[in-house]
Amino acid sequence: MTSAEEQGKGAEPLLEVQDLCRRYGEHVILDHVSFRIMPGDVVAVIGPSGCGKSTLIRSLNLLERAESGRILFHGRDLLTLSSREAAATIPRIGMVFQQFNLFDNMTVLRNVALAPEISGGLTRSQAEEKAMMLLERVGLAGRAGAYPSHLSGGQKQRVAIVRSLAMDPEIILFDEPTSALDPEMVQEVLALMRDLAQGGLTMMVVTHEMRFARNVSTRAMFVCDGGIRVDEPPERFFEDPPDPRLREFLTTAGMRG
């Protein structure tokens, strides 16, 4: 069943954004942006550089603070939560960054186990047992004792994804997760993300990987000029784009013509 069909049947959105606005001085980055994400959605966010894609996704877990609008997670507005409520809620919205953000002075195992131990209520042994299970799942158990400086870029990003999974998030936000990788390492990260999507994980992915967006996403958004100009299933988005600016963008990216 598609997200549109679920919405028509009255399913509740996992995340709903209403009239979100963000500006830097006089420069408007997000101009009354609204959308919904249903459980199981894999939403690809596409657009030209500097259009506000990263600002949008970073606003959803309060890494960027919107000036106005609402961000409803299970119906509760994140922008109105107290600090204590936010600390309990935000870990359910995972985040994977461009630059990995691993702790260089900690092993892979400790990088993954730290948050579940500190914020997830697990003992050290419980957190490390969980971390090892996740590392085994992605083929990195043999690197548990290594430090980030001894990993390839693809391995670092897979560890960063596992670190997010260790907190049992209901959705993971990916901010251009392959943009800092060498081309030969991109596919190993995309393969893991594809497996997570097929397993039903709700995801929102800012990406320039057009074929990943076309083949894996359930919806694709085109962000341009401060708003979402197109939000469609990938078949319509890529094969019959309804917006001239999107058609131009896809042609430049080699996805049309």
Query: Which residues are 120's β-sheet partners?
Result: none
pLDDT digits (tens, 9 = 90+) for 23-81: 988 899 999 999 999 999 999 999 998 899 999 999 999 999 999 999 999 999 999 99
3-state secondary structure string across 19-84: EEEEEECCEEEEEEEEEEECCCCEEEEECCCCCCHHHHHHHCCCCCCCCEEEEEECCEEHHHCCHH
CA terminus-to-terminus distance, the chain? 31
pLDDT at 254: 74
Q: What is the mean pLDDT of residues 8-26?
A: 86
Residue 156 · residue 143 · CB < 8 Å:
no
Q: Establish if 175 belongs to a structural domain.
A: yes
> How much is the mean pLDDT over the chain?
92
pLDDT at residue 6 in the model: 43
Residue 169 lies in a domain: yes
Determine, yes or no, domain membership for 257.
no
Identify residue 84 by its one-letter amino acid code.
R
Q: Containing H/E element for 132? A: helix 124-137
CB 205 within 8 A of CB 44: yes
CATH number at residue 220: 3.40.50.300
User: Is a pLDDT exceeding 80 seen at residue 8?
Assistant: no
Give me the number of domains the chain comprises. Answer: 1
113 belongs to a structural domain: yes
The domain in which residue 124 lies consists of 3-252
pLDDT score of 203: 97
pLDDT digits (tens, 9 = 90+) for 190-226: 999 999 999 999 999 999 999 999 999 999 999 998 9
At residue 2 the predicted structure's pLDDT band, cuts being 50, 70 and 90, is very low
pTM of the model: 0.91
Residue 171 lies in a domain: yes
Please indicate, yes or no, if residue 166 is contained in any of the structural domains.
Answer: yes
With 90 as the cut, is the pLDDT of residue 127 above it?
A: yes
137-161 confidence digits (pLDDT tens): 999 999 999 999 999 999 999 999 9
Give residue 7's pLDDT band: very low, low, confident or very high (50, 70, 90). very low
C-alpha to C-alpha distance for 83 and 227, rounded to whole angstroms: 29
> Does some domain include residue 213?
yes
